[in-house]
Amino acid sequence: MNRAPLIFLGAFLVLAFSWAGLVLTNQVGYGSLAPHFDDTENKAYPAQMAGPAAQGAAVYQDLGCAYCHTQQVRGGAQGADLTRLPKWGERDSYARDYLRDTRVQLGDLRVGPDLRNVGARDTDSTALYLHLYDPAHANPAWTMPSYNFLFEQRPITGEPSPLALKVPVAAGFEVLPTPRAVALVAYLLSLKDTYDYPDESQMNTPPAPPKTAAPAKGGPPVGATSVKSPASAATDAAKPAAAKP
Ligand code: HEC
């Protein structure tokens, strides 16, 4: 009976440590991450998602694309994404890349290619529409399911629409993307993490070789950059020479 306080304390400590490990450390590490303002381009990164792309993100989530596609590029010691052909990106994905995503679609299985930079490699919307309508159009061995329900067949009235897909269809009809398909393709085209954050590169690639300019003595350990206030991070980025000892 008199062991009750001990059991309670034990349970409390287990929960407190799990919470600190899972929630607190991440909050301290990433909670203060802010978009980076690039003075030369007069623009913040990551950029705000345009309206149709944001709608497309909801379609992507709704249709479960994340069951087969990840959105996380892993290079260096974590994976071969930067060396495979075609490359899945020019650099690793950083936590900051996802700041504007209302729901982060990291995914867990890679049945298909990583899509975090699909907008950088597939720049042609027509090809993306075709891929969604009939993934096997270019290669019959491709296994992605068809999303042809995102398209509709309509009788041609007057001039054929410039958006009509070049697919076999009954005479006098055309296949057009529905607003959901248009939004989804806008979202896919918007997926490109190509911006190089000046203060980010050391943070997510631990095995990177030391930089040529040595950091100030007693400088922050790897990973500590994230707890900087956005203002100080921006100042550091603006004046890299000031770090000279
Ligand atoms: C059942 C698994 C599966 C699902 C679900 C799926 N895909 Fe795919 N996807 C694939 C595979 C596999 C490939 C590679 C080509 C192939 O085999 O069809 C692919 C390829 C792609 C490509 C071409 C990628 C490149 O590198 O050029 C795009 C774009 C794409 N998928 C988008 C989507 C979108 C958007 C959705 C949701 C509407 C989706 N996929 C759902 C399996 C899937």
Domain range enclosing 49: 36-198
Q: Which residue has the least CA distance to atom 7 on ligand 1?
A: 144
Q: Cα(61)–Cα(105) distance, rounded to whole angstroms?
A: 7
| Cβ contacts of 165 within 8 Å, gap of 6 or more | 126, 129, 130, 133, 151, 174, 175, 176, 177
Ligand 1 neighbour 131 (Cβ under 6 A): yes
Q: Cα(82)–Cα(73) distance, rounded to whole angstroms?
A: 8
Residue with tokens 């590490």: 29
CA 93 / ligand 1 centre spacing (Å): 20
Is residue 93 domain-resident? yes
Structurally, how many domains does the chain consist of? 1
Is residue 183 domain-resident? yes
Is residue 235 domain-resident? no
| Cβ contacts of 223 within 8 Å, gap of 6 or more | 29, 203
CATH of the domain at 118: 1.10.760.10
Q: Check if the beta carbon of residue 91 is closer than 8 Å to that of residue 193.
A: yes
Ligand 1 neighbour 144 (Cβ under 6 A): yes
What integer pLDDT is reported at residue 212 of this predicted model? 58
CA 179 / ligand 1 centre spacing (Å): 20
Given ligand 1 and candidates 60, 61, 69, 182, which is best to mutate, with the most ligand atoms within 8 Å of its CB? 69
What integer pLDDT is reported at residue 198 of this predicted model? 83
Q: Return per-residue pLDDT of the chain as tens, 245 residues.
A: 689 999 999 999 999 999 999 999 989 888 888 888 888 989 888 988 888 999 999 999 999 999 999 999 998 888 889 988 888 988 999 889 999 888 899 998 999 999 999 999 999 999 999 999 999 988 889 999 999 999 999 999 889 899 999 999 999 999 999 999 999 999 999 999 988 888 775 454 444 445 555 444 444 444 433 333 444 444 344 444 433 33
Ligand 1 neighbour 145 (Cβ under 6 A): yes
Angle CA 46–179–117, to nearest 5:
30
Burial 57-83 (b: 16+ CB within 10 A, else e): bebbeebebbebbbbbbbbbebbebbe
Ligand 1 neighbour 188 (Cβ under 6 A): yes
Is residue 75 domain-resident? yes
| Cβ contacts of 229 within 8 Å, gap of 6 or more | 32
